[in-house]
Structure 1
């Protein structure tokens, strides 16, 4: 994708500074084109956010989210210049916990009567069973995490894999709408906090482990996932947050 100015007369000293970034439109399942882009630009850090959501069919979710991730990871580990992949996983990998108390109260907007034991990265991922597409989406993210773990533990592969279990991110960057119940609000992630997390990963790249999972949310009331390792490893301290009152 090439950026061009409209044909409008502008004084030389007023010419805008064009961004140096290059933009490409590419299908993540197009192995040849994806490989050329990574190789030609000597890309060393990949932030993998390509995915279709649970609104798509199970077949499309598996094709893009699983097969596409397979292709990207396979290309990346064969390039000597690739140092790290930040994989956009999802906090939905543990949404199965919301189906039982005390977490299920949040979905009914009922304030929990007891402290919520926080789910950690060491607790097993549990998909929810809302519908087949939602379950397929969650399983595709669990699959991506498993693939990252497998590659990171393979001899001769030096690429670091950081799996970011992203909380709820919306286009409006607003959590006040009545459309959102507290199962969502408690794990909301603002745009600012998402950018801060990415910055912290990049700043700490050299000291990070070969494989790590982080929950990425804002500082929300009744947040039920544990983000302590993000604070300890990255100094990631969310600045925004949804408040009960």
Structure 2
């Protein structure tokens, strides 16, 4: 049966990657939602050249909705009118915004979306774009802090698992607020998934660092980035595996999603065991 997929934050970097990928699969009809149609802020933050007139990759006009993530009524109408089956929730403010804006959009907006989605009988699954930044606090202590300093660790790093306590980064207040917003929304997913009144499955994907150029072979990036880099191809493979295995997944699943990087310090064993997710790309430490 063809599934109808709604992607929030559709004009963002990850939204464009997934729309371009999933639109080629006849098993899915892709809908998009965003509060604007501008290119992702990631291009500016990473100083990626933008061609004049370049536009984000979006679904056709009749399948794209300009809607704020905090507008519960319009979200409910979009889901209901299109009989959406799967929601890939990407809408989120970056760590460059104020604490107040991050909490309003990332936390309150996600709660509004979750609440609207579980009330619709057609919704089967929500894939929530969490982040490896839920555990970025570990980079502030040895042995993980060596990566921030671009020092090759003297030993293999114990990998942080989904059972380890999330620890936000304390780099600055907005950075910490962003980390905490992802932790908060994972707790929301746990709460909603544990309700006996809904059968909606919640998949929390702790995405690694996805960059605009899809290239990691650059000295501009330190190993705190490279160790958790996720290529566009590996991102798409992960989403494919989740969609293909939807029927056998539990009501709540949490996965780290990165490429096969040297000194990757997050554990992806459960994604390999549950989904047969095997990253194809990876950053390699080049000894000189």
TM-score if structure 2 supplies the norm length? Answer: 0.78
> 2:102 is matched with which residue?
61
Q: What's 1:111 paired with?
A: 152
CA apart distance, 1:199: 0.3
| Alpha-carbon displacement from aligned partner over 1:124-150 (angstroms, at most 9, x marks no partner) | 000010000000000000000000001
2:42 is matched with none
For residue 31 of structure 1, report the CA deviation from its aligned partner. Answer: 1.2
* TM-score normalised by L of structure 1: 0.91
Aligned to 2:77: 36
| Match in the other structure for 2:283 | 242
Partner of residue 263, structure 2: 222
**Aligned match for 2:252, one of 211, 216, 220:** 211
The structure 1 residue matched to 2:174, chosen from 133, 152, 159, is 133
* Aligned partner of 1:154 among 195, 211, 218: 195
Shift of 1:179: 2.3
Give the Cα–Cα distance (whole angstroms) in 2 for the partners of residues 176 and 25 of structure 1.
Answer: 36
Partner of 2:221: 180
Distance 1:20 1:28 in 2: 19
Deviations 1:92-128 (A, max 9, x none): 0000000111100011111100110000000000001
- SS at structure 1 position matched to 2:101: helix
Tell me how far apart the structure 1 counterparts of residues 146 and 219 of structure 2 sit (CA, whole Å).
Answer: 16
Q: What stretches of structure 1 of length at least 5 have no aligned partner?
A: 2-17
> How far apart in 2 are the matches of 1:148 and 1:21?
30
Distance in 2 (CA, whole Å) between partners of 1:42 and 1:21 is: 15
* 2-structure distance, mates of 1:34, 1:89: 20
Residues 185-200 of structure 1 aligned to structure 2 (within 5 Å): 185-200=226-241
After superposition, residues 8-27 of structure 1 pair within 5 angstroms as: 22-27=63-68
Q: Structure 1 CA distance, aligned partners of 2:121 and 2:89?
A: 18
Task: Tell me how far 1:180 sits from its aligned partner.
Answer: 1.2
- CA RMSD in angstroms comes to 1.4
After superposition, the C-alpha distances for 1:72-99 in whole angstroms (9 at most, x for unaligned) are 0000111111000000000000000001
Name the residue aligned to 1:10.
none
1:25 Cα deviation from its structure 2 partner:
1.6
Please give the secondary structure, in 2, of the residue aligned with 1:198: helix
2: distance between equivalents of 1:70 and 1:158? Answer: 17
User: Looking at CA atoms only, which structure, 1 or 2, has the larger radius of gyration?
Assistant: 1
Does 2:205 match 1:164?
Answer: yes
Once the two structures are TM-superposed, the CA of residue 24 in structure 1 deviates from its matched residue by: 1.3
* Greater mean alpha carbon deviation, residues 175-184 or residues 104-113: 175-184
Paired with 1:181 and 1:19, the residues of 2 have a C-alpha distance of 38
Deviation at 1:169, TM superposition (A): 0.6
Q: Structure 2 unaligned segments of length 5 or more: list them.
A: 1-31, 33-58
Q: Distance in 2 between matches of 1:75 and 1:179?
A: 42
Q: Distance in 1 between matches of 2:73 and 2:198?
A: 21
Deviation at 1:177?
A: 2.4
